[in-house]
Amino acid sequence: MTPLEHTLRAARVKVMIFDVDGVLTDGSLTYDANGEITKTFYVLDGLGIQLLNRTGVQTAIISARNSPIVVKRAADLGITHVFQGQHDKRLAFAELLEKTGVTAEECGYIGDDVIDLPLFTRVGFAVTVPSGHPEVQYRAHYVTRNPGGRGAVREVCDMVMRAQGSYEQALAPYFG
């Protein structure tokens, strides 16, 4: 796919959906002394999501795992649609479309493993990370340069804002 095709797909995004493990995080699971899983999130990714929200693009999480850490991170970033424990992500996706009133073609999704493939075939802009499973990379419209949990999400947020002509406006408060 050419850069122009990426831009055209990104320009149509009204809802950007994120997987968590391997996308918002590097995919590592760390267990604390109590057996609880902890996750590490990247600050640049977080600001990218906040900027994207400010431009009017809605954001969502659809994840197969359940984690109170994800609920907290989503709240901190203003992600209003959070679906966890979704082993069949199509169900959450259908609910998201109903809640937002957008079409599947107006959604972007970034995921990294085969559980994400059902959404890749539905959304208008399917994205994965460099460590994404080969089947996912093969079907993605775009593979980020940056790894999951280390800038991939920011790269996509910036790409969507640039494609929609809102990037400079989103950054303007930081130049004054």
pLDDT of 176 higher than 80: no
Q: Three-state SS for 16?
A: strand
pLDDT score for 53 = 97
Per-residue pLDDT tens for 138-169? Answer: 999 999 999 999 999 999 999 999 999 999 99
In 25-154, beta strands by DSSP E: 30-31, 37-38, 58-62, 81-83, 107-110, 125-128, 142-143
Per-residue pLDDT tens for 41-91? Answer: 999 999 999 999 999 999 999 999 999 999 999 999 999 999 999 999 999
Return the percentage of the chain with pLDDT > 70, whole number: 100
Give mean pLDDT, residues 94-122.
97
CB atoms within 10 A of CB 160: 27
Work out how many domains the chain is built from and give that number: 1
- Per the domain annotation, does 174 fall within a domain? no
What is the domain-level CATH number for residue 14? 3.40.50.1000
- The domain in which residue 148 lies consists of 3-87+103-163
- Per the domain annotation, does 131 fall within a domain? yes
